Amino acid sequence: MTRWPLPEPMALALQEAQAAADSGEVPIGAVIVKDGRVIATGRNAPRERHDPTSHAEIEAIRAAARLLGNERLEGCELWVTLEPCAMCAGAIAHARIGRVYYAASDPKGGAVEHGARVFEHPQCLHRPEVYAGIGEAQAAQMLRGFFQAKR
Amino acid sequence: MTRWPLPEPMALALQEAQAAADSGEVPIGAVIVKDGRVIATGRNAPRERHDPTSHAEIEAIRAAARLLGNERLEGCELWVTLEPCAMCAGAIAHARIGRVYYAASDPKGGAVEHGARVFEHPQCLHRPEVYAGIGEAQAAQMLRGFFQAKR
């Protein structure tokens, strides 16, 4: 539960998640921060883009790497509204992202603190610092609302 | 070790791997087959594309999904020259690929039979059939040659 104003990057990630919901996609959003500034955003859009890899984190990482002209995002932070899945955790490691902040944890599909625990194996060549829970209540409420409306 | 002619999709994946090496990228290639026909190819190109997600499997999956206009590649096979990493295994699951054939296993970065073992957790919502070893000698030799030339 968050009792203080949300940090700007997480507030922006939640806006991206809402934009995903408005397009009929599962509401998940992400932003990349470098040197205190937001340099890229992404939202979940696999149906709209006909792309199973179009998760919020992947879209944000690809946009940031394109912007920087470098496949490594050293010194960057990723803020995302849900615990990353195995695909996204792998991408975070490949991109050499320094810190990951995620809002809600995802026992059903997460791969950071659940399931594959991608960062915890020697095969993971880069392990970011991970901080969980900032914005959890808002992110979880948005997901619940989305799936309730779908029924 | 392969003692018979390689199946056409793996031969093509090895050609893609060679094309990656020719561009200075780690030689890994992939193809997607549907109904017995190759519908998409991909090769490892993170440096060239400034995209940390540009692994052979991801490129092939994105191309196939774009072609089919569907983020789910049901009934498709993925042929790839190296054991998929966590990112690519996750993408394979999201894409609902039915079968994965990989050539060489990858103790250092693989996440199918090593490390995160992405398909073996309940958080993995789709588990493909997996076949390993076809083309192993050729794929491993190409990787060894690439890294020896780099030294």
- pLDDT for the residue numbered A150: 82
Q: How far apart are CA B68 and CA B56, in angstroms?
A: 18
- Identify which of B41, B33, B47, B38 has the alpha carbon closest to the alpha carbon of residue B14: B41
What's the mean pLDDT in A115-140? 97
Active site residue B71: no
The active-site residue out of A16, A25, A57, A77 is A57
Query: Which pLDDT band, with edges at 50, 70 and 90, does B42 fall under?
Result: very high
- pLDDT for the residue numbered B3: 65
pLDDT digits over B51-78, tens only? 999 999 999 999 999 999 999 999 999 9
Q: How far apart are CA B45 and CA A7, in angstroms?
A: 35
- pLDDT for the residue numbered B4: 76
pLDDT digits over B87-110, tens only? 999 999 999 999 999 999 999 999
Q: How far apart are CA A15 and CA B126, in angstroms?
A: 30
B71 close to B93: Cβ distance less than 8 angstroms: no
To which residue do tokens 């020896």 refer? B148
Gyration radius (Cα) of chain B, Å: 14
The active-site residue out of B16, B25, B57, B136 is B57
Per-residue b or e along A69-80, where b marks 16 or more CB atoms closer than 10 Å to that residue's CB: ebbbbeebbbbb
Q: How far apart are CA A55 and CA A78, in angstroms?
A: 13
pLDDT digits over A6-22, tens only? 999 999 999 999 999 99
- pLDDT for the residue numbered B151: 76
- pLDDT for the residue numbered B150: 82
Nearest to B121 among A47, A95, A115 (CB): A115
Q: How far apart are CA B106 and CA A59, in angstroms?
A: 27
Q: Is the pTM of this model over 0.80?
A: yes
pLDDT digits over A26-79, tens only? 999 999 999 999 999 999 999 999 999 999 999 999 999 999 999 999 999 999
Q: Does domain B8-149 have CATH number 3.30.450.40?
A: no
Q: How far apart are CA A99 and CA B139, in angstroms?
A: 34
Which chain B residues are closer than 8 Å to A48 by Cβ?
A: none
What residue segments make up the domains of chain B, in order of their start?
8-149
For residue B91, the number of C-alpha atoms closer than 13 Å in the C-beta half-sphere is 29
What's the mean pLDDT in B29-46? 98
Q: In chain A, where does DSSP find H-type helix?
A: 8-22, 46-49, 56-68, 86-94, 136-150
Q: Does residue A96 surpass a pLDDT of 80?
A: yes
Two tokens at A134?
């900032």
Q: List the beta bridge partners of residue A77.
A: A33, A99
pLDDT digits over B116-132, tens only? 999 999 999 999 999 99
- pLDDT for the residue numbered A4: 76
Average pLDDT across chain B, whole number? 96
Q: Which of residues 62-121 of B touch A (CB under 8 A)?
A: 62, 65-66, 68-73, 85-91, 93-96, 107-111, 114-118, 121
Q: How far apart are CA B30 and CA B62, in angstroms?
A: 12
Q: Does residue A1 surpass a pLDDT of 60?
A: no
B67 close to B21: Cβ distance less than 8 angstroms: no
Nearest to A61 among B49, B52, B122 (CB): B52
- pLDDT for the residue numbered B2: 52
